[in-house]
Chain A
Amino acid sequence: MFQISSQISFADYNLFDLLLNHKVLCSASLDSFPALKSYVDKIAARPKIKALLECENFKKLPINGNGAVSIMSSVEEISNSVAEDLEEDGVEEENTVEEAEMEYEEPVKGGYIFYRDRKEWADLEPVPQDDGPNPVVKIAYSEKFTDVFDMFRALLQNDEKSERAFALTTEAIDLNAANYTVWHYRRVLLQALDKDLREEMKYITAIIEDQPKNYQVWHHRRMVVEWLNDPSEELQFVAEILSQDAKNYHAWQHRQWVMQEYKLWDGELEYVEELLEEDVRNNSAWNQRHFVINHTSGYSDSSILDREVQYTLKQIKKAPHNESAWNYLNGILQDGGLSSFPGLLEQVTELQDTCSSPYLTAFLVDLYEDALETNSSSYDQQEMFNKALELCKFLAEEKDTIRREYWNYVSRSLQNTYGSGDPVSASSDPPPPPSSSQLPDMEPSDP
């Protein structure tokens, strides 16, 4: 019955508020709209909403100066304010607010008691935040937020190491999981109170599921795993997170740490292949492939290298415009040299008819360049040079124009290094003047 899914969401509070206001302004306004009327009645009947609607403070709040009451203006539990000019504000980065999936506790003035009013906390004087007389970047904290953190500051100041302090860190984390000071304090308490770390694992598992792009939660998990010296759940846990977002950077970081720390390499190549089966363009999976092989067999064994080259070419054939595969091919052959790998030029050239892409062309440039660099006798140097330049021009002018500046630079570099001195086809700049002033910020170097 809710707007977006089977669970109530912000959209419902918003619409409910609007419809309540309609009823206030004209009590019969919803009579001809039975579905809307029933929607409003059902939400109003939810226990905590009912309590809110009946509470005095709520009844006194105005809406738009009409003397009626707005549910939205009284709600403090909702973490994204509904005020007009604030609706557009998103918040960034480590902890990006997920726009669609807000979980809302029912707005309650009825059931929740501020810490400052709880008798078990009466001995502790809350410490308000000292932003100074003329604050900047002042956040309009909710009353709950202020209350919890005022109490947290008090605990911190007294260096209190108690169960109630531990419980408060849970509240504080719930309000701002990016507060690394709170996490640090929680860890101090976990040790000081000799808390059950298995329980903590369950806790951190839930938090990470909820906020998988936060640095602190992953770091905390790592600490607990270290203390327990038990990585047994980790690979499965990370796999679960990756099943929701196969490229979560923190998840991969944690996975690599676990594998290296506890030497858990078995089965990882298979796992990577599963991921690549699902999405051959998953660059994180390609990176993991490299990571595993690097730390196990290495690439110097020619049978391994062969296997990898063949595997990669196979993936390339499936999706020739998948840059990850081409980058991997290049990456694993760098050390040995692209032009030294037997038959590679032929295999790649063969792909040109059916699997052409700017990446194939770029790969050929790399291969030709490698042939020139190693002065390989297997190749006609002049031919390599000419072809490389031809392809650079093709990329710069037609197939990869976004990288025009780069390909023209590569072309000039090749000419400069391997050219016979005859000027070849135009690259965007004339030869630079032989002066030191061409560079940003070059000051004469001091003795």
Chain B
Amino acid sequence: MEEASPPLRCFSESHSSELFSDDGVQTVTSREQRKVERSIQEVYSVYQQIHTSSQPTLLREQHYHYLKKGLRHLSDAYECLDASRPWLCYWILHSLELLEEPVPAAVASDVCQFLARCQSPTGGFSGGPCQHAHLAPTYAAVNALCILGTEEAYKVINREKLLDFLYSVKQPDGSFVMHVGGEVDVRSAYCAASVASLTNIITPTLFDGTHNWILSCQNWEGGLGGVPGLEAHGGYTFCGTAALVILGKEHMLDLKTLLRWVTSRQMRFEGGFQGRCNKLVDGCYSFWQAGLLPLLHRALFKEGDSTLSVSSWMFERKALQEYILLCCQNPGGGLLDKPGKSRDFYHTCYCLSGLSIAQHFGNKDLHNELILGRDENRLLNVFIFLPSRHQLIQFTTSAQRRSPKRLNISTGCLFQFRQNLHQVQWTSH
């Protein structure tokens, strides 16, 4: 018999006072927001009727089967992601990692071989065999290989060519284009910083001017836009901030206004996060937005802030977990944006990532857990094994759990992991 579960925030008497106030002035924004709130209310009321005493449950089995299948086969609905197949590998592998489901060695090996086929002869990885290299699938491929963490995986990456590729997309103003002949936005800086850092190929000049370019993306709202001048947006803000952390320049941001902006993105009624002010909640922002709080916590600490909480990130952790568990799970497996939307692997990855962040505060020395619902809902805490700030930023790789290996440039094999980015050295060029 299940014990009575602690009351959910969304079922409290006063919760309806959090509904959007349109001040009697209806616009497209307020109508859309009210529509979403109504659908969420519907979810709550159904939940209350069915689950009178049970606790919110992460549908581990179902998610596992959805992911396991997808890692092998995808329907033709995925034709539109035919130029993003390393992403599919990454989203699925990271989701499995968070669920602490092991990847069989044979499967891991197959992933390595596939990603090897996505590697471009001129360096970097592309969306699929025979496509051109692009920073996004490069990020996805390198991080997927780091999740696998086997020698075979590390060996796939041609580090010298990767560096060539990064130089080939670097712009004079410090920014990066996503691919040769492609567009610029702050995602590229993050993709570049992430892979360069993980593979230890950062040279003294690679990121010249990059931090200044990223800083110029912070706007009047406090968040960052895709390029200077644009509206502050969760995805771009995460990319820019995380890139700066990797480059050791996060203190140059206006942390206070950024903190105000991101904390304001948590929706008072839904509990999840929106991507931009006055837009709708979306499960994926559980990571892009909530993921900023650990970064900021650390950045502020480094600045000497002694008033930071010792028990929690600065967002409502319970509310986010409620949103994800009650509103973002597909009963057949997979997670999603909001009720009414279809499941997909992108949302599965980032909803689970957000859930993990909400569940775990701190590091191995100071760890505070807040698991909503049953204990089995607990996901992997990606911080716990990760001693270096680099991993903190990544939220993705478990690579540094393995012991550091010797570097061998000429054969492009293994990486030398650094525990502390102060010691980053470059070894080629």
Binary contact readout B380-415 vs A (1 if CB under 8 angstroms, 0 otherwise): 000100111101100000000000000000000000
Q: Which of A145, A180, A279, A408 contacts B76 (CB 8 A)?
A: A145
Given contacts A83-B75, A406-B263, A438-B310, contact A132 B80 (CB under 8 A): no
On chain A, the residues within 8 Å of B83 by CB distance are 176, 178-181
Q: CA separation between A135 and B129, bound complex, in Å? A: 11
Given contacts A136-B111, A256-B229, contact A130 B365 (CB under 8 A): no
- A385 proximal to B (CB < 8 A): no
* Interfacial residues of chain A within 301-358, with CB under 8 A of chain B in the complex: 318-324, 327-328, 331-332, 334, 357
- B51 proximal to A (CB < 8 A): no
Task: Check B220–A290 contact: CB distance below 8 A.
Answer: yes
Q: Which of A91, A93, A180, A441 contacts B363 (CB 8 A)?
A: A441
- A284 proximal to B (CB < 8 A): yes
Which of B27-35, B42-50, B164-172, B208-216 is the interface stretch? Answer: B27-35
Given contacts A178-B84, A440-B363, contact A92 B307 (CB under 8 A): no
Task: Check A97–B85 contact: CB distance below 8 A.
Answer: no
- A122 proximal to B (CB < 8 A): no
Task: Check B76–A79 contact: CB distance below 8 A.
Answer: yes
On chain B, the residues within 8 Å of A92 by CB distance are 81, 344-347
How far apart are B294's CB and chain A's nearest CB, in angstroms?
6
Task: Check A318–B231 contact: CB distance below 8 A.
Answer: no
Binary contact readout B339-382 vs A (1 if CB under 8 angstroms, 0 otherwise): 00111111100000000000000110110000000000000000
Q: CA separation between A94 and B84, bound complex, in Å? A: 10
Q: Which of B132, B263, B316, B344 contacts A180 (CB 8 A)?
A: B132
* Interfacial residues of chain B within 207-228, with CB under 8 A of chain A in the complex: 219-221, 225-227
Please give the number of chain A residues whose Cβ is less than 8 angstroms from any Cβ of chain B in the complex: 106
Task: Check B332–A88 contact: CB distance below 8 A.
Answer: yes
Task: Check A403–B294 contact: CB distance below 8 A.
Answer: no
Q: CA separation between A437 and B366, bound complex, in Å? A: 7
On chain A, the residues within 8 Å of B366 by CB distance are 437-440
- B8 proximal to A (CB < 8 A): no
On chain B, the residues within 8 Å of A249 by CB distance are 226, 230-231, 233
Q: CA separation between A136 and B118, bound complex, in Å? A: 12
On chain B, the residues within 8 Å of A55 by CB distance are none
On chain B, the residues within 8 Å of A26 by CB distance are none
Task: Check A287–B298 contact: CB distance below 8 A.
Answer: no
Q: Which of B22, B185, B278 contacts A283 (CB 8 A)?
A: B278
Q: CA separation between A91 and B126, bound complex, in Å? A: 19
On chain B, the residues within 8 Å of A409 by CB distance are 307-309, 314
Most buried by B among A83, A149, A324, A406: A406
- B249 proximal to A (CB < 8 A): no
Task: Check A99–B30 contact: CB distance below 8 A.
Answer: no
Q: Which of B225, B267, B423 contacts A446 (CB 8 A)?
A: B423
Which of B53-61, B65-73, B151-159, B198-206 is the interface stretch? Answer: B65-73
On chain B, the residues within 8 Å of A440 by CB distance are 294, 297-298, 362-363, 366, 383, 392
Q: CA separation between A290 and B231, bound complex, in Å? A: 10
- A29 proximal to B (CB < 8 A): no
- B63 proximal to A (CB < 8 A): no
Task: Check A132–B229 contact: CB distance below 8 A.
Answer: no
Binary contact readout B255-295 vs A (1 if CB under 8 angstroms, 0 otherwise): 00101100110111001000011110000000000000010
On chain B, the residues within 8 Å of A145 by CB distance are 76, 79, 82
Q: CA separation between A274 and B383, bound complex, in Å? A: 48
On chain B, the residues within 8 Å of A86 by CB distance are 75, 77
Task: Check B276–A247 contact: CB distance below 8 A.
Answer: yes
On chain B, the residues within 8 Å of A176 by CB distance are 79-80, 82-83
Q: CA separation between A434 and B306, bound complex, in Å? A: 8
On chain A, the residues within 8 Å of B114 by CB distance are 131-132, 135-137
How far apart are A71's CB and chain B's nearest CB, in angstroms?
17
Q: Which of A222, A279, A434, A442 contacts B29 (CB 8 A)?
A: A279
How far apart are B273's CB and chain A's nearest CB, in angstroms?
10
* Interfacial residues of chain A within 219-257, with CB under 8 A of chain B in the complex: 219, 222, 246-247, 249, 252-253, 256
Among residues of A, the one whose C-beta sits closest to the C-beta of B393 is: A441
* Interfacial residues of chain B within 290-324, with CB under 8 A of chain A in the complex: 294, 297-298, 301, 305-316, 319
Q: Which of B29, B79, B294 contacts A175 (CB 8 A)?
A: B79
Q: Which of A153, A215, A318, A331 contacts B130 (CB 8 A)?
A: A153
* Interfacial residues of chain B within 139-188, with CB under 8 A of chain A in the complex: 178-183, 185
On chain B, the residues within 8 Å of A97 by CB distance are 77, 80
On chain A, the residues within 8 Å of B131 by CB distance are 179-181
Q: CA separation between A398 and B16, bound complex, in Å? A: 13
Most buried by A among B75, B267, B423: B75
How far apart are B133's CB and chain A's nearest CB, in angstroms?
10
Given contacts A178-B81, A287-B230, contact A404 B316 (CB under 8 A): yes
Q: CA separation between A80 and B75, bound complex, in Å? A: 8
Given contacts A180-B127, A287-B219, contact A90 B344 (CB under 8 A): yes
- A159 proximal to B (CB < 8 A): no
Which of A7-15, A31-39, A162-170, A425-433 is the interface stretch? Answer: A425-433
On chain B, the residues within 8 Å of A118 by CB distance are none
How far apart are A81's CB and chain B's nearest CB, in angstroms?
5
- B110 proximal to A (CB < 8 A): yes
- A113 proximal to B (CB < 8 A): no
Task: Check B21–A138 contact: CB distance below 8 A.
Answer: no
Q: CA separation between A443 and B389, bound complex, in Å? A: 9
Can you list 28 residue pairs at the A/B interface with Cβ under 8 Å? A80-B76, A80-B77, A86-B77, A89-B342, A91-B77, A136-B72, A138-B73, A139-B82, A140-B75, A178-B80, A178-B83, A253-B185, A283-B231, A287-B225, A290-B219, A319-B22, A321-B21, A403-B264, A405-B312, A406-B315, A408-B309, A429-B311, A438-B308, A438-B366, A439-B308, A439-B366, A440-B362, A441-B391
Known: A290-B220, A445-B420. 18 other contacts (CB 8 A): A90-B342, A92-B346, A129-B129, A132-B114, A137-B71, A142-B79, A145-B82, A247-B279, A249-B233, A278-B28, A279-B27, A282-B27, A401-B316, A402-B271, A403-B266, A405-B312, A438-B310, A440-B363
